[in-house]
């Protein structure tokens, strides 16, 4: 009975690899080691941004012994995704996509291509799940999916496939300090849509460099008893903050009604806002509280 169950599982995983494998490519966009990718839509390849180290002379192996040149259509370092475009007339099968969430303990396959562009696989389970998360580069990922399987060199950019032979996300070692995670389909689709439209992801920014400082006790009563704040050490010329009147040496105690005690607080806030949003900042200037209104702009490329 046990051998029958294992044989059935083995056959299902083999069929899953076969179902998606024709859509998986090897990408030669860096020295030494190719990375992996998958045709996500007709003529559009999704891969991991950190594995594409150049903008030109990128080739893709669509099968063993057959390569074509592709072009970079857009990148988003904050979610570690990039999209490449096939030349006109070149295309691969489009895989089936899973429309139900993965669950903790689900069997899964990571697919990729080797140096010689042969299809390779790594099997394991979904080892951890949590809700929406913000990687250190500031992007937004709909769900944190941690893998309990080995992402070998070259696997980043390849798909995670469930036992039904459906793609549930893109694997990468570039978002969680070398640990393998999967970017879920919902995030990939959102990023692909915007990259195809604009070539980059619009990320709001302030145009400021700041560092934490202690607020003198004599001034705390003017700023809701805040003990620490952010000292402005650089103001970008013609940036959103400069346009609002913020100056070098200002001490910012609040952004958007929230205490500003660490630069991480600001990154968290910006991750929840959009280009075009307006926020208010409370600033200590010469010991006097001042309010500045900042209209967020798209971060320059």
| Chain segment 66-85, per-residue pLDDT in tens | 889 999 999 998 899 999 99
Q: Residue 192 pLDDT > 90, yes or no? A: yes
- Stretch 77-104: mean pLDDT: 91
Is the model's pLDDT at 197 over the cut of 80?
yes
pTM above 0.85, yes or no: no
Mean local confidence (pLDDT), 114-123 = 92
Q: Percent of the chain, pLDDT > 70?
A: 96
Q: Which domains does the chain have, with CATH numbers?
A: 2-198 (2.40.10.120), 204-298 (2.30.42.10)
Q: Is residue 70 a contact partner of residue 58, using CB atoms and an 8 Å limit?
A: yes
**Statement: residue 5 has pLDDT above 80:** no
* Placement of tokens 């998606």 in the chain: 20
**Tell me, what's the pLDDT at 1?**
56
pLDDT at residue 174 tops 70? yes
What is the pLDDT of the chain when averaged over all its residues?
89
pLDDT for the residue 278: 93
Residue 270's pLDDT is what? 81
Give the number of other CB atoms < 10 A from CB of residue 211. 11
Angle, CA of 276, 79 and 45, to the nearest 5°:
110
Q: What is the average pLDDT across 103-115?
A: 93
pLDDT classification of 132: cutoffs 50, 70, 90: confident
- Range with lowest mean pLDDT among 39-48, 158-167, 172-181: 172-181
For residue 203, what pLDDT is reported?
81
Question: Phi, psi (5° rounding) for residue 210?
Answer: -135, 160
Average pLDDT (26-53) is 94
pLDDT of 112 above 80 = yes
Residue 122: what pLDDT? 95
Sign, CA torsion 47/50/52/55: positive
Residues 6+ apart with CB under 8 A from 80: 48, 49, 50, 135, 137, 139, 172, 174, 175, 183
SS3 24: strand
According to DSSP, the residues that pair with 108 across neighbouring strands are: 124, 162
| Model pLDDT, residue 205 | 86
Give the pLDDT confidence score for residue 38 in this predicted structure: 97
| pLDDT of res. 257 | 84
Q: Is the pLDDT of residue 218 over 80?
A: no
Q: What is the pLDDT of residue 262?
A: 81
pLDDT higher than threshold 90 for residue 161: yes
* C-alpha triplet 239, 242, 248: angle, nearest 5°: 120
Mean pLDDT of 190-211: 89
Give every CB contact of residue 232 below 8 A, 6+ residues apart in sequence.
Answer: 208, 209, 210, 241, 246, 247, 248, 249, 250, 251, 252
**Lowest pLDDT segment from 42-56, 149-163, 219-233:** 219-233
């Amino acid at each position: 009975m046990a051998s029958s169950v294992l044989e059935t599982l083995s056959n299902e995983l083999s069929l899953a690899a076969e179902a998606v494998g024709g859509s998986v490519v090897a990408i030669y966009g860096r020295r030494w080691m190719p990375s992996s990718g998958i045709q996500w839509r007709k003529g559009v390849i999704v891969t991991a941004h950190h594995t594409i180290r150049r903008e030109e002379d990128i080739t893709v192996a669509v099968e063993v012994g057959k390569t074509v040149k592709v072009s970079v259509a857009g990148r988003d370092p904050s979610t570690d995704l990039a999209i490449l475009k096939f030349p006109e007339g070149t295309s691969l099968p489009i895989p089936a996509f899973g429309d139900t969430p993965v669950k903790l303990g689900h069997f899964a396959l990571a697919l990729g291509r080797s140096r010689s562009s042969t299809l390779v696989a790594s099997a394991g389970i979904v080892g951890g799940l949590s809700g929406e998360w913000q990687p250190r580069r500031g992007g937004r990922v709909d769900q944190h999916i941690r893998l309990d399987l080995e992402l070998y060199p070259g696997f980043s950019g390849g798909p995670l496939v469930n036992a039904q032979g459906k793609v549930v996300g893109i694997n990468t070692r570039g978002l969680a300090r070398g640990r393998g995670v999967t970017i879920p389909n919902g995030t990939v689709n959102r990023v692909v849509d915007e990259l195809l439209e604009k070539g980059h992801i619009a990320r709001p920014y302030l145009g400021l460099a700041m560092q934490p400082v202690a607020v003198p006790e004599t001034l705390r009563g003017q700023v809701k008893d805040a003990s620490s704040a952010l000292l402005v050490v650089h103001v970008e010329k013609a940036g959103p903050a400069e346009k609002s009147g913020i100056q070098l040496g200002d001490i910012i105690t609040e952004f958007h009604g929230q205490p500003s005690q660490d630069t991480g607080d600001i990154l968290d806030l910006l991750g929840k806002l959009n280009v075009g949003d307006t926020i208010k900042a409370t600033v200590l200037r010469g010991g006097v509280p001042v309010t500045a209104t900042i209209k967020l702009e798209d971060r320059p490329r």
